[in-house]
Amino acid sequence: MAFEAFWRKLGDKCTMVISGSDLMSYLSDMGNVCWFLVPELAEAINNLHHVVDNAVSDGRHIVIGTGSTQLYQAALYALSSPGGPEPISVVSAAPYYSQYPAETDYLRSGLYKWDGDANTFDKNNGAYIEVVNSPNNPDGTIREAVLAKVNRSAEGKLIHDLAYYWPQYTPITGAADHDIMLFTLSKCTGHAGSRIGWALVKDTEVARKMTRFIELGSIGVSKESQLRAAKILGIVSDDYPNFFEYGRRLMSERWNMLRQVIRQSGVFGLPEYPLEYCNFTGKFTNSHPGFAWLESKEDEDCEKLLRAERIMARGGRRFGADAKYARVSMLSREEIFNIFLERLSAIQGGSISNGKHLGS
């Protein structure tokens, strides 16, 4: 919702008219591996990656999904089928995205299972799928595969979740080039309600299996949502300095305000991000992630501490980390963000004693 004001100012530029007789067929492009991907969206995705240069899209299959959540499930299916005597372990380095465990185990698949932190996974256990989230949700750090550094076994496979690898959040240091790369409209432009995600996939057979998974689950993806996404991405590509500069400036301002409140409170800590050269902007800049990874300096339960001041947060244990950490959103509407800062500033070092927030 942070970028809502930008899109409101564009007025009717994003408006589409769809008549009652349009888009009635399941089919979009039978010559494509992902046969329900509308050509307009495929072109818009390729154009945007060429403009930003954050990922290699030439020669890749584009698989469209109902958000990146469906694509994550499709990728797990594609990499683990036809299966073996035991489910393949799925791991990610902690702190990992809190939804990975639930999404992995939700279907109770016999093909794969969640196996926790990649840093503590015994690579001698055989086949595994490592999920690399970069920039990482929740802490905003740039990640590489952990297990591939120590075990180049053919039994190890990778999924790269690059939802936040856009200029408003982090320096673009190069075009990512991995076997499976996941992106989502919600993090790129803010349009979460359209439920559009896409995967850039190298291997044709993997792309076919991912497409088959989505076909069996939902017989494709809404064409109305795809065409809206194509329109929006086209506007970003045609006038990219405006949107990404707006987003980068907004996130930078929010992080500066948050750090000021954190310094004054003396209660919390925040990650520091290195200054890096961004190929997209041509400038040295820091990361400004979509979430803040707060640490309680006094080892308090950070989520409980924040909720005592009516601040929505997700506790560190859900990310495979300690309870002294919590994740809060930096992407709310302006009025909500300002209320968040106001409530956060009410938590001062002297207001904490023996694990209890005084006055709560």
Amino acid at 64: I
Comparing 148 with 358, the larger pLDDT belongs to 148
Across 143-152, average pLDDT: 80
Task: Give the pLDDT confidence of 183-201 residue by residue, as tens digits.
Answer: 999 999 999 989 999 999 9
223 token code pair: 């064409």
Task: Give the pLDDT confidence of 35-76 residue by residue, as tens digits.
Answer: 999 999 999 999 999 999 999 999 999 999 999 999 999 999
Strand partners, 91: 130
Q: What is the predicted pLDDT for the residue at 152? A: 55
Q: What is the predicted pLDDT for the residue at 155? A: 78
Q: What is the predicted pLDDT for the residue at 356? A: 40
Q: What is the predicted pLDDT for the residue at 1? A: 82
Contact (Cβ atoms closer than 8 angstroms) between residue 266 and residue 259: no
Calpha distance 293→95 (Å, rounded): 10
User: Which of 24-33, 75-84, 87-96, 134-143 is the least confident region?
Assistant: 24-33
Q: How far is CA 336 from CA 331, 332, 342, in A?
A: 9, 6, 10
Task: Select from 3.40.50.10860, 3.40.50.720, 3.10.129.10, 3.40.640.10 the CATH code of 4-11+27-239.
Answer: 3.40.640.10
295 token code pair: 């640490």
Amino acid at 87: P
In whole angstroms, what separates CA 147 from the centre of its chain?
21
Q: What is the predicted pLDDT for the residue at 355? A: 40
Contact (Cβ atoms closer than 8 angstroms) between residue 75 and residue 181: no
In whole angstroms, what separates CA 10 from the centre of its chain?
25
What's the CATH code, domain 241-346?
3.90.1150.10
190 token code pair: 């803010």
Q: Where are the domains of the chain?
A: 4-11+27-239, 241-346
With H, G, I as helix, E, B as strand and everything else as coil, classify residue 145: coil
3-state helix, strand, coil in the chain (%, to 5): 40, 20, 40
Calpha distance 139→325 (Å, rounded): 10
209 token code pair: 């299996």
Calpha distance 320→305 (Å, rounded): 19
Helix intervals (H) in the chain: 4-9, 39-52, 67-80, 99-105, 147-150, 185-188, 204-218, 223-238, 240-265, 302-307, 334-345
Strand partners, 119: none
